[in-house]
Amino acid sequence: MSTPPEKVNDIIEIEGEGAFVVVDVPVYPSGVGKRLDVYLSQRLVRFTRARIQRMIKRSKVLVDGTVVTRPSYRLRRGQKITLYRLAPQEEGEVTDIPVLYEHAGVLVLSKPGGVTVHPTASVLRQTVTWFLNHRPGPAYAPAHRLDRETSGTLVCAEKGVASAKLKTAFAGRDVHKVYLALVRGRLQEVLHIDAPLALASDSEIMVRMAVTADGAPSSTWIYPLAWGPETTLVACRLDTGRQHQIRVHLEHAGHPIWGDKIYGQPDDVFLEFVRQGMTDDLRRCLSFDRHMLHACAISFVHPETHERVLVRAPVPLDFMDAARTLGVMLTSDDPGLPAELEDWLAGANLSQ
């Protein structure tokens, strides 16, 4: 174990010890000067500090390819940490994700809520990449991300030229995306949220984003579609693609998404979920097991045919059930979008 393996999140066998998942963790600027055990317990929220310390003392943590056995080791800028954690023994695997579109090296999936896109420190087989790697045919890779609890359209491409072209399209804002969300409160008019985003510096949750004056430019348009007594069904159009953008912008506007464990809630809610999973108390607090956000439609220029492709994902049953519970009557898995958003999906560059 003198050097880490070439790929992140491989499974390796260590003689006499069993199967281990390899997890790479970069040392970000926020970690410079911190103790190794402290930084890892902050980055890997499902790992307690005591568990991290045991892994370090058992030679299961490397820094820049060298085993470190002192939890008090101080980190430096630019280093890379590699952990070897025991592979989950009873984790179920994703065997069926609906395919919405497949043509000439491009695949669009309807990702279920609760399935992660890439492996994490605690999930390996319940991931989109696991499904893709075990699917017959060409090797595909996701071209972008969706949060674990977000359902809906996920574009994948054959590894190589097609994947590179699609990732460039996402980075260049050539991809048009529309989401549906069930939000708290009644929103009556179209809302434009133009508020820069950055990591929240005052949160115990390492991935939490916040509106900050020096953050990255971020723009979201919110269109109300239907209402319940204390709820609005909205469609969201993204002009930018920041981490958690819709969720944090809606919280900033005073309309957090129903079921969100991070936004619209104190940090303790998410931290309790990490430690204990979904408890009865959390379910009463959140009302739903996942946040009610669904990527309902996406359009992009196909990297081979150069034609614009529009793909829609039906609203999943748990979202429709949540809407009815909140008094929003959805009679179809396609609630219909305003003409302006249909134009946007067709490729129009909206000026507003």
- On the question of pLDDT at 9 being above 60, the answer is no
What letter represents residue 164's amino acid? A
For the beta carbon of residue 51, count every other beta carbon within 10 angstroms: 15
Q: Which amino acid is at 81?
A: I
Q: Which residues are catalytic?
A: 147
Rounded CA separation 107/128 (Å): 12
pLDDT tens figures, 75-123: 999 999 999 888 766 567 777 899 999 999 999 999 999 999 987 766 7
Phi first, then psi: give them for residue 319, nearest 5 degrees: -70, -45
Determine the Cα–Cα distance for residues 133 and 145; give it in Å rounded to an integer: 17
What architecture is domain 11-86?
Answer: Roll (3.10)
Average pLDDT over residues 302-321: 94
Q: Report d(CA 39, CA 68) in Å as an integer.
A: 14
Helix (H) or strand (E) holding 227: strand 219-228
pLDDT range class, residue 11, cuts 50, 70, 90? low
Q: How far apart are CA 146 and CA 336, in angstroms?
A: 22
Across all residues in the chain, what is the average pLDDT? 89
Beta bridge partners of 142: 156
Q: How do the domains of the chain map onto residue ranges?
A: 11-86, 99-345
pTM of the model: 0.80
How, if at all, do strands 293-301 and 151-158 pair?
Answer: parallel
Q: Which residue is it, tokens 């902050």?
A: 42
Question: What integer pLDDT is reported at residue 223 of this predicted model?
Answer: 97
> How do 231-238 and 176-184 pair as beta strands?
antiparallel
Q: Look at residue 137 in the predicted model and tell me its pLDDT.
A: 87
Rg, the chain, Cα only: 21
Q: What percent of the residues of the chain are helix, what percent strand, and what percent coil, each to the nearest 5?
A: 20, 30, 50
Taking the C-alpha atoms of residue 73 and residue 50, their distance in angstroms, rounded to an integer, is: 15
Average pLDDT over residues 179-192: 97
pLDDT for 202: 87
The neighbouring-strand residues paired with 233 are 182, 226
pLDDT in tens, 248-272: 999 999 999 999 999 999 999 998 8
CATH code of the domain occupying 99-345: 3.30.2350.10
- pLDDT of 135 above 70: yes
Cα gap 238→282, rounded to integer Å: 30
pLDDT over 90 (residue 21): no
Span 39-53, pLDDT tens digits: 998 888 678 889 899
Pinpoint the alpha helices (H) of 107-261.
128-133, 161-171, 245-252
**Tokens 């196909």, located at residue:** 302
Tell me, yes or no, if the two domains 11-86 and 99-345 fold the same way.
Answer: no
